[in-house]
Amino acid sequence: MSITITHTAQSGSLLDGTSRGDGTAELIKPLGWRWGRSISCWYLPRTRDKAPRVRDLERTEHLLREAGYLVELEIDSTYRSTAAAEADLAAQQRARAHALASKAERKETAAEAAAEAAQRAHNALPPMGEPIKLGHHSERGHRAAIARADATTRRSIDADVAARQASDRARAASTAGDYRHHPDRVARRIVRLEAELARWKRQRDGHTRTLAGGYKEISQPATGARAERVNNEIAHVSDQLEYWRDLRAAQIASGQVIDYAAAGIQVGDFIKHIDCWLRVTRVNAKSVTTIGPRGRATIPFLDIDAHRPAHAEEGRP
């Protein structure tokens, strides 16, 4: 048996060539591999459009080889463009939302049928809560009717719970795209990517930092295979930043969100934060320092809800 382990940006990390009961499941499941029913092969979760987890892949290869399997390992570290990755993700989210909506509809139909069956079983019971007549020829049928009513009621309850859960999942899936592209999420993603890009550049160029006691820790620039990996990540993160910055600019231009960093906030103005108006005492690069009922606070531009100039009559605390 030949097993193939592959990694690409579009598909993530996959393991193919196994069969049910061949013993591979016991070997690879502890390493994080999961079975994908829709793709009929093993996969590592959260590896699409990510850097390959080379150590995990090589460890899997080594373990399978030790067990006597023939294994081929193919790793493609090339990233695809952020635009292509986001378009693919959006298509997957739409397909998932459609599938879950269909499932919710089936569950609701099943719940309605179960409720009707429970009602019929209840209607078949003797009227007015008539007690079981012990020893009477009707005792057996009476007990059977009670058992049917109880069983169908339980099935109805279970079906209703399943329908509600399916409906909740379908509703969440239908809004996944909106949540991912919410202006606040986009802005914070940009901040995170900027910090990530700075870290990769420090690894590329080398850096020095001063620790406690004046000791200086010097990190040399990346070289060889490490430098190739770092440059690959810099290009990838830069592409992501360009994509999300363009989206952020479009959201600002359309009026979906206000860029308070460029709103001209000055000392003496008021900003609203968590339903409270605060006076600005200092304007920083990424935040403002304020004074309010709870004392001084530093509020990032991203957390500002509204702004009023100092000369405006309305909006004063």
What confidence tens digit (pLDDT) does each residue in 92-134 have?
A: 999 999 999 999 999 999 999 999 999 999 988 888 778 888 8
Q: Which domain holds residue 218?
A: 181-253
Q: Look at residue 314 and tell me if it is in a domain.
A: no
239 and 168 share one domain: no
Q: Mean of the pLDDT values across residues 247-252?
A: 95
- Kindly provide the b/e burial profile for residues 18-30, where b requires at least 16 CB atoms within 10 angstroms of the residue's own CB: beeeeebeebbee
Which residue in this structure is represented by tokens 């900003």?
271
Q: Look at residue 294 and tell me if it is in a domain.
A: yes
Q: Look at residue 146 and tell me if it is in a domain.
A: yes
Q: Look at residue 316 and tell me if it is in a domain.
A: no
Q: Each residue of 167-183: pLDDT tens digit?
A: 999 999 999 889 999 99
89 and 171 share one domain: yes
- Tell which of 253, 271, 299 closes a domain: 253
Q: Look at residue 315 and tell me if it is in a domain.
A: no
Q: Is the pLDDT of residue 315 over 70?
A: no
The rounded mean pLDDT for the chain is 92
- Tell which of 148, 176, 204 closes a domain: 176
223 forms bridges with which residues in the sheet? none
Q: Mean of the pLDDT values across residues 274-289?
A: 93
Relative to beta strand 270-273, strand 276-283 is: antiparallel
- Tell which of 129, 149, 176 closes a domain: 176
The domain total for the chain is 4
116 and 200 share one domain: no
Domain of 292, CATH number, reads 2.30.30
